Amino acid sequence: MLRQAQHLRDEAAAAYAIEAHDLVKDFPGKRAVDGVSLSVPEGSIYGILGPNGAGKTTTLRMLLGIIEPSSGHRRLLGHDQPLHAAEQVGYLPEERGLYPAMTSREAIAFMGALRGLPLAEGRRRASALLADRGLGDWEKRPIRSLSKGMAQTVQLLGTLVHRPRLVVLDEPFSGLDAINQEKLEELIRAEAAAGTTVIFSTHVIAHAERLCERIAIIAAGSVAFEGAVDQARDQLRPIVQLRTRSPDGPWRAALPPDARRQGDSWKFELPPGGPEPLLRALIDGDAGIETLSIERPGLHDAFVAIAGEAAAAALRTGEAQ
């Protein structure tokens, strides 16, 4: 029975690439992370969303075993000691760094060697990775000759060259132009489609909304929300935009008290009963519906509702930088 119970626990743990429970990290005079708990399913794209300084990087470093938590527990790819799984992990830190004199191929192969990949195999894979993306002419170019975005692409390929089970990206979109951001999103989707778990931190809501299945919203070192993106958006009710030919009538009773009039239109949250009672009241009351739209709140609206306006303002400041 004990062996069976342990087997069931191991199977449950295997369903998650990362689990963290009440992680705390104290630095002298400051608590950077305050009780972070999250679960990252195997094969998913998971985002840690929050403004700069919220504790995202510190959380990732604790999950990877780069720094130890002051308290709490984490489990990575089935290991209570994350560094034991280091060769199965690809990590792109926020602070980018490659040897300027190395060629692109050598830099990618070198990063693979740091994760246990033989150098000769790393060179072969580096050439293939560059060629597959139409970047074969970069192969012999030294890093110092590349633009910032090009060098970041090389470092990302070095993160993937050893074919990790888990890829951890810290602010991977920072410094990339719109075209390279789109290419990175495509690469992340391709890795997840191949079964790789991808977790990344970002202060740009649009990337998390487009890519992620699950997110953790972190503000001031604490998790304000953890779960599916749809669950975050469900924190707010859908918004109704209504325009009628009739300016008034008995149908007005179906509108909630906080409905706001904007010219000849109305804007309000969808009442709890759903759209059917509202439509019935509008039709029976001869409102003369000209337009009616129901919009589900986006992740930005959910972020404001969950983390607060101050955190949202900090997020916008980071996006503008």
**CATH number of the domain within which 212 lies:** 3.40.50.300
Q: Are residues 243 and 149 in the same domain?
A: no
User: Whole domain around residue 61: which residue ranges?
Assistant: 14-233
47-to-109, 199, 202 alpha-carbon distances in Å: 28, 6, 7
* Amino acid 318: pLDDT: 59
Q: Are residues 118 and 32 in the same domain?
A: yes
Q: Are residues 253 and 221 in the same domain?
A: no
Any residues with CB less than 8 A from the CB of 77 and at least 6 apart, and which?
17, 18, 85, 88, 89, 165, 166
- C-alpha 172/C-alpha 157 separation (Å) is 12
* Amino acid 316: pLDDT: 64
Residue ranges for the chain with pLDDT beneath 70: 1-14, 312, 314-321
- C-alpha 19/C-alpha 105 separation (Å) is 34
* Amino acid 257: pLDDT: 87
Q: Are residues 280 and 180 in the same domain?
A: no
Give per-residue pLDDT as tens, 146-156: 888 888 889 99
* Amino acid 4: pLDDT: 45
In a domain, 87, yes or no: yes
Q: Are residues 227 and 254 in the same domain?
A: no
- Report the relative pairing of strands 89-92 and 166-170 from DSSP bridges: parallel
* Amino acid 317: pLDDT: 63
Helix H or strand E segment including 4: helix 2-14
126-to-26, 118, 120, 144 alpha-carbon distances in Å: 39, 12, 10, 18
Q: Are residues 184 and 45 in the same domain?
A: yes
- C-alpha 4/C-alpha 141 separation (Å) is 55
Q: Are residues 132 and 251 in the same domain?
A: no
Taking the whole predicted model, whether its pTM rises above 0.85 is answered as: no
- Report the relative pairing of strands 214-219 and 222-228 from DSSP bridges: antiparallel
Q: Are residues 111 and 187 in the same domain?
A: yes
In a domain, 203, yes or no: yes
* Amino acid 175: pLDDT: 79
* Amino acid 308: pLDDT: 77
